[in-house]
A and B are shown apart, each in its own frame.
Chain A
Amino acid sequence: MTSYAIFLGCTIPARQPNYELSARKTLEKLGIELIDLEGFTCCCPAPIQSINLESSQAIAAYNICLAEEAGLDIVALCNGCFESLAMVNTALKNDPQLKAHVNEVLAKVGKEFQGTIKVKHFIQVLMDDIGLEKIKEKVVKPLSSLNVAPFYGCHSLRPSKLLQLDDPERPKIFENLLEALGAEAVQYRNKLKCCGGLLKGISDDTALSLAREKLVNTSKAGADCISTLCPFCFVALDIGQIQIRSKFKEVYDMPILHYSELVALALGVDPSELALSSHKIKADKVLEKIA
C-alpha cells in the first residue's frame, strides 16, 4: 500500500473540514494510506516569506526533514503548503550552497535536509499514483450533466520551474480529472489568474474585484459550479460572494466545491459525510443535478 505523510497546514484544520474529509475519504476508497506525523508546523507561505524569506525556507525544510525521518513522501492539500514545501524541496536538491546554509540552521534543532523525498499536491497523487483509468473504473455516480469551471489558483502551477505540476499557461491536469468523473470542464476568461486571497487585509477592494471577475466569467460561461484546488481560493470565492453581495449588490449564487469533494461524490461517498454545511454558498444545486 502506498503511504503519504499528510500535510494539513493552517487553513484546512482551522476552517475547512469539508476539504479534509473529502480528501481522506477519497484516498481511503482508492487504497492510499495517509499518516499524520507529529511536529509539522506552518509551511511558511507568502505572508511569512514576506517577513523573512530565510526563516521561511528553513522552516519549510524542517518540515520536509520530519517526513524524511519517517521515510514518507508528503502530500499537501493546500496550494500554499504545496508551493512553500515543493519550492524549497526542489531548490535545496539543486543548490548545494543553499542546502549547506539551511542545514547549518537546521543543525541547531538536530535536523539535516537530505533530499530523499517528494512533495506532491493531492491532485498529483490522484493523477500519478492512481491514474485516470482507475478513477474512471471506481466512479459509481458519474457527474454527467454537470458543468464545472476548474480554478487552479496560483501556487499549484507557478513558479513552474520549481513546482513542475503542469504547463503553467495551458494546464490540463484538472480538466482531465473532471472529465474522468464524467463532468464537463468549462473554459472561461481569466481561468489562470489570481483569486485575490492574499490581498485580504491589505487591499480588500482589489482582493474582492479579483474574486468577482472569476464569478462574472464562470457565470457567463454557463458553469454550474467552480471547483478549487486551494483552501484560500475556496474562501475568496465562497465567502467572497457574501462580501460581493454587500459591496457590489450582485448575487451570483455560484457553489464552490473542492475537486476532492467532486471526486468523493462521484466515488459514491454520501453527501452527509462531507461536512458540506461548511460552504457559505450551498452546494444543493450541484447535488440535485447529479442525484
Chain B
Amino acid sequence: MPHHNTNKNTNMSFSEEVTCRHGGETLTSCYQCGTCASSCPVARLDSRFNPREIIKLALLGEKDELVSGDAIWLCTSCFNCQERCPQNVEIAELFYALRNIAIEAGNSPNIYADFGSALIADGRIVAISKFGEKKREEFGLPPLKPVGLEDLNTILSETGFIKPEKKEASK
C-alpha cells in the first residue's frame, strides 16, 4: 500500500523522495516480513546490518540516521533478499538509491572516492599498470584497446555524477 504523506512538517516525505528515484520505486511495497533479513549473509555476521530495519527506517523517514550511518554501506549486493522478497521489493537496488542520496549529501566510505576518481581518470575502476600491460605481451595476450574515456565522461556529466570526496578522519 502506498505510504501517504499526511503531514508536510514531518520527515515522512523521505519515502516519497526514495520512491521517485531510480532503484527506489518499490520501497512502499514492503510489509516487514523479514524474509530479507533471514536470507542475508551479512546480517548473520554483523549486528550493524539488517535489511528489514533499513527499509523500516526509510519508510519512517529517518533520513539522517540512514544517510549519515554505516548500515546502508554493509550490503554486499548479493541479491539474495531481492530474489526471495514475496512483495517484489527490489531491495539491493533500493540500497543503491539510498547510497546515491547519501553520496549527494557528502557521506560515503572513503573507498568510493577511489572508485569515482579511477572511473573518471581511466574509464576503469581498477587501474592497469604499465607493468601489467607488459606482462600481457609476455603471456601472449593481445594489447588492450583504448577506452572510450571522453564519451564516458560526457555521460557522467549528463547524468549528474558526483565524485565522492574522502573524509579527513578515515571511516
The distance in angstroms between the C-alpha atoms of A37 and B161, with both chains bound, is 26
Interface 0/1 of B80-113, CB less than 8 Å to A: 1011000000101101110110010000110110
Determine whether B127 belongs to the interface, using a CB cutoff of 8 Å to chain A: yes
A46 CB → nearest B CB, Å: 4
Question: Which one, A16-24, A131-139, A261-269, A281-289, is touching chain B?
Answer: A16-24
In the assembled complex, which residues on chain A have CB atoms less than 8 Å from the CB atom of B129?
14
Is the pair A39, B148 in contact by a Cβ cutoff of 8 Å?
Answer: yes
Is the pair A51, B45 in contact by a Cβ cutoff of 8 Å?
Answer: no
Given the known interface contacts A14-B126, A51-B100, A54-B159, the answer about A201 and B46 at a Cβ–Cβ threshold of 8 Å is no
Is the pair A41, B111 in contact by a Cβ cutoff of 8 Å?
Answer: no
In the assembled complex, which residues on chain A have CB atoms less than 8 Å from the CB atom of B76?
154, 194, 196-199, 210
B28-70 with Cβ < 8 A to chain A: 41-42, 45-46
Among residues of B, the one whose C-beta sits closest to the C-beta of A38 is B145
Given the known interface contacts A10-B125, A109-B154, A201-B109, the answer about A39 and B45 at a Cβ–Cβ threshold of 8 Å is no
Determine whether A11 belongs to the interface, using a CB cutoff of 8 Å to chain B: yes
Taking a contact as CB atoms closer than 8 A, the residue among A8, A21, A158, A194 that contacts B41 in the complex is A194
In the assembled complex, which residues on chain B have CB atoms less than 8 Å from the CB atom of A24?
141
Interface size range of chain B in the complex: 35 or more
Given the known interface contacts A158-B79, A159-B82, A198-B76, the answer about A66 and B22 at a Cβ–Cβ threshold of 8 Å is no
In the assembled complex, which residues on chain B have CB atoms less than 8 Å from the CB atom of A169?
83
Is the pair B119, A42 in contact by a Cβ cutoff of 8 Å?
Answer: yes
The distance in angstroms between the C-alpha atoms of A14 and B152, with both chains bound, is 20
Determine whether A105 belongs to the interface, using a CB cutoff of 8 Å to chain B: yes
Among residues of B, the one whose C-beta sits closest to the C-beta of A206 is B46
Determine whether A47 belongs to the interface, using a CB cutoff of 8 Å to chain B: yes
Is the pair B149, A21 in contact by a Cβ cutoff of 8 Å?
Answer: no
Among residues of B, the one whose C-beta sits closest to the C-beta of A190 is B41
Among residues of A, the one whose C-beta sits closest to the C-beta of B21 is A53
In the assembled complex, which residues on chain A have CB atoms less than 8 Å from the CB atom of B23?
49, 53
In the assembled complex, which residues on chain A have CB atoms less than 8 Å from the CB atom of B125?
10, 42, 45, 47-48
Given the known interface contacts A109-B155, A203-B74, the answer about A53 and B96 at a Cβ–Cβ threshold of 8 Å is yes
Determine whether A50 belongs to the interface, using a CB cutoff of 8 Å to chain B: yes
Is the pair B119, A48 in contact by a Cβ cutoff of 8 Å?
Answer: yes
Question: Which one, B2-10, B11-19, B131-139, is touching chain A?
Answer: B131-139
Question: Which one, A55-63, A141-149, A179-187, is touching chain B?
Answer: A55-63
Interface centre among B41, B80, B109 (most CB of A within 10 A): B41
Is the pair B100, A14 in contact by a Cβ cutoff of 8 Å?
Answer: no
Taking a contact as CB atoms closer than 8 A, the residue among A62, A201, A210 that contacts B152 in the complex is A62
Determine whether A202 belongs to the interface, using a CB cutoff of 8 Å to chain B: yes
A interface list, Cβ under 8 A from B: 8-11, 13-15, 17, 20-21, 24, 36-42, 44-55, 57-59, 62, 66, 105-106, 108-109, 111, 154-155, 158-160, 168-169, 190, 192-194, 196-199, 201-203, 206, 209-210, 275
Q: Closest 8 interchain pairs by CB? A: A158-B79, A39-B148, A201-B111, A194-B78, A10-B126, A55-B159, A46-B77, A154-B78
Query: What are 5 A-B pairs with beta-carbon distances under 8 A?
Result: A47-B112, A49-B96, A62-B152, A199-B76, A203-B46
